[in-house]
Amino acid sequence: MWWRVTIISLAYLLLGAHFLRFDQHILAIIAICLPLLMFIRHSFVCTLLKLGLLISVVFVWAVTTFNFIDMRIALEQPWLRLAIIMISVMIFTLFAAFSTNGLNQKLRR
């Protein structure tokens, strides 16, 4: 179970670092504090964490990926490595979202 907590926390820290990079301090604080909800032993918390990660994949990482790739193509710079890195970040975040399922099963026992 400790690895699930670590992966979920890292995904939210990565999201917080992304928000901090673009001077969105409130969103960064929220993203960094969300893993602290895992101390609350309720199934709703697991659902909230999962939805937060899934929404971040679609509305943060995917949009950022398309914007960065578009910028690199416009500047006639290589973009394939950027695409691979950003897709890896999205896959990691999806893995973290699906890791919340195990937290729910531990709560039922």
Q: Say if residues 107 and 42 touch (Cβ distance below 8 Å).
A: yes
What is the tens place of the pLDDT at every residue in 58-97? 999 999 999 999 999 999 999 999 999 999 999 999 999 9
Q: Largest Cα–Cα distance in the chain?
A: 55
Is the pLDDT at 53 greater than 60? The verdict is: yes
